[in-house]
């Protein structure tokens, strides 16, 4: 990722995806405490005390050209409500992953995730010119799996015994994707879903 990409903000009607920085540490610590998200063992949300290290790790992947990390700001309240990332960008294969996404409990089941995915997918397919966008989640994270399916992504498969989590359990990872030929219809669907929040 070049410097211009790393400074890119993605602006929607409900949210702004701002380039993640250490200046977001305090606000993200408040957001992650809304619902004690770190207690959900199948998520990547950090404990508030670990937020600085979490941000520094994300920024290190940016420096290596592998990711773009964003803080998610609610345009109406002005509050930071979570974060998300474009990651595992393989330029030679024109594919990337959208992940490391979490939102405060009060921002869940709102327009936030729908618009964030619309902004990220639009940027991936229309600016970065990728041919595939991947999503991954824990096989037991039914909320995340349903949300990914609602986007219109297809399940590609399950990586069995994929990771050992901090609590010692073994994670099977479900892999989904959207490809470039599917994007126009999926974009229309996301815009339609988003319009429901405006009525």
**Cross-strand partners of 81:** none
CATH of the domain at 156: 3.40.630.30
Contact 41, 143 (CB under 8 A): no
DSSP per-residue string spanning 91-155: GGGTEEEEEEEEE-GGGTTSHHHHHHHHHHHHIIIIIS--SEEEEEEETT-HHHHHHHHHHTPEE
pLDDT at 85 over 60: yes
CA dihedral 80, 192, 95, 97 (to 10 degrees): 40
Backbone angles phi, psi at 13, to 5 degrees: -80, -35
Take residue 157 and report the two structure tokens written for it: 């498969």
Q: Helix (H, G, I), strand (E, B), or coil: what is residue 175?
A: strand
Q: What percent of the chain has pLDDT over 70?
A: 95
Tokens of 137: 């989640």
45: its two tokens: 């949300």
Helix (H) or strand (E) run with residue 194 in it: helix 183-196
| pTM recorded for the entire structure | 0.93
On the question of pLDDT at 199 being above 60, the answer is no
Average pLDDT value for the chain:
92
Rounded Cα–Cα distance for residues 159 and 174 (Å): 6
Q: Structural domain tally of the chain?
A: 1
User: Residue 19: pLDDT band by 50, 70, 90 thresholds?
Assistant: very high
Range of the domain at 57: 3-196
Mean per-residue pLDDT, 94-104: 95
| CA dist 141 → 63, 123, 171 (Å) | 30, 26, 10
Q: What pLDDT, on a 0 to 100 scale, did the predictor assign at position 5?
A: 65
DSSP three-state, residue 19: strand
Per-residue pLDDT of 133-149, as tens digits, reads 999 999 998 988 998 99
Q: How many residues does the chain have?
A: 199
């Amino acid at each position: 990722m070049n410097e211009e990409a790393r400074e890119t903000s993605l602006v929607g009607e409900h949210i702004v995806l701002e380039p993640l920085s250490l200046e977001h540490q305090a606000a993200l610590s408040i957001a992650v405490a809304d619902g004690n998200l770190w207690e959900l063992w199948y998520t990547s949300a950090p404990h508030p005390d670990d937020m600085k290290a979490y941000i520094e790790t994300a920024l290190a992947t940016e420096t290596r050209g592998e990711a773009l990390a964003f803080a998610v700001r609610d345009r109406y309240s002005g509050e930071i409500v979570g974060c998300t990332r474009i990651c595992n960008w393989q330029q030679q294969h024109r594919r990337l992953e959208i992940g490391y996404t979490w939102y405060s409990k009060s921002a869940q089941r709102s327009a936030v995730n729908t618009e964030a995915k619309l902004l990220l997918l639009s940027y991936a397919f229309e600016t970065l010119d990728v041919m595939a966008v991947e999503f991954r989640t824990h096989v037991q994270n039914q909320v995340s799996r349903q949300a990914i399916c609602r986007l219109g992504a297809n399940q590609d498969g399950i990586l069995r015994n994929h990771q050992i989590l901090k609590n010692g359990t073994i994670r099977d990872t479900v892999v989904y994707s959207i490809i470039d030929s599917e994007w126009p219809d999926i974009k229309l669907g996301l815009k339609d879903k988003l319009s429901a929040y405006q009525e």
